[in-house]
Structure 1
């Protein structure tokens, strides 16, 4: 018997088990919320042996972290938009488009984001994960600010890391407001307003 084929089958089965557990975990988190969700309930519903399940995930926090990474990756793709503007107008257009897409994503993923917000407030592990996600965004924004400064589009005397933090925290504040469905204005208006304030403060 070909050992590589056996290995491939085992690997495929392992991936399928992991995927099944994540799917079921998502369902249960959405039904129960983070606090009430129990991993044993997830394992039972996925119809997977306990031993097998614990090979993949140590607990419900592990499961939620993967679900968080999957969703935040979509947000991060927005932050990764190519940023090489040749003019102020072009920079303004890209930034406004990013802010809009970022906040629209919060609306699209509202239900799962509500579970994340609950978990961030309860679990240190999830809270630390969120801090790491936040830092990834801030570093990316910081890179864009440096590009604008080096190309004479933005004020060079400003600390790019502080500017990046300020911009991300503004977006994050509105993100959670949208997740809670507490926003009074349209997403377009919010994006336009925060972009204008940020842009006028940073760009020459």
Structure 2
């Protein structure tokens, strides 16, 4: 990445810096005000840039927030991308439980921005649509893991891998939002129960 930046012209570097400044300013504004109360004017003022300049990069606050949301969800997706090639049901159980813990811990670590994400999904059709795309990306990855287990005779082959993946993600998503909204919850207990129910139903 540094090597690529070094190749840029001075003007391109300045553009990159301006864009980054807008994103950093917007994160502060959204965390301070929430999604609905945040305005593009507040972001521009915080970034110390002109209106014309700002609108070159983002048309509205929804566009800016969408990028922030994608950035934070990429951390969750890194968990979903953990190598998954179990040889036994016990291995699969341990790996899945570990992933659930990592996923839910991230929800707690990123609680402030995730609260704004939840608010934005409820009021912005653009953000809601982007969230659906993010969901589908997770479901696709989970489907691949289930198909691996089915192909290796660890999981029931008569179950539809996509439907199971969809149900599994929604279960995790529900607890993710619960952890975002409340301080007191046992991640270990949630991970234990979720993983036990999931693997008991899917694995042979």
Q: When the two structures are superposed, what TM-score results if normalisation uses the length of structure 2? A: 0.95
Q: Corresponding residue for 2:199?
A: 199
CA distance in 2, matches of 1:138, 1:45: 37
Q: Corresponding residue for 2:150?
A: 149
Matches within 5 A, 1:153-192: 153-181=154-182, 185-192=185-192
Matches within 5 A, 1:53-72: 53-72=54-73
Superimposed CA distance per residue, residues 49-99 of structure 1 (whole angstroms, 9 cap, x where no aligned partner): 111111110110011001001000000000000011111111111100000
Matches within 5 A, 1:1-204: 8-181=9-182, 185-204=185-204
Q: How big is the shift at 1:7?
A: 5.6
Q: How big is the shift at 1:10?
A: 1.1
Distance change (3 Å), C-alpha of 1:159 and 1:45: same
Q: Secondary structure at the match of 1:58?
A: coil
Structure 1 window deviating more from structure 2 (36-45 vs 140-149): it is 36-45
CA distance in 1, matches of 2:179, 2:126: 24
CA distance in 1, matches of 2:52, 2:72: 27
CA RMSD of aligned residues (A): 1.3
CA distance in 1, matches of 2:9, 2:93: 49
Q: Secondary structure at the match of 2:9?
A: helix
CA distance in 2, matches of 1:27, 1:11: 25
Q: How big is the shift at 1:182?
A: 6.2
Q: Which runs of 5+ in 1 are unaligned?
A: none
Q: When the two structures are superposed, what TM-score results if normalisation uses the length of structure 1? A: 0.95
Q: Which runs of 5+ in 2 are unaligned?
A: 1-5
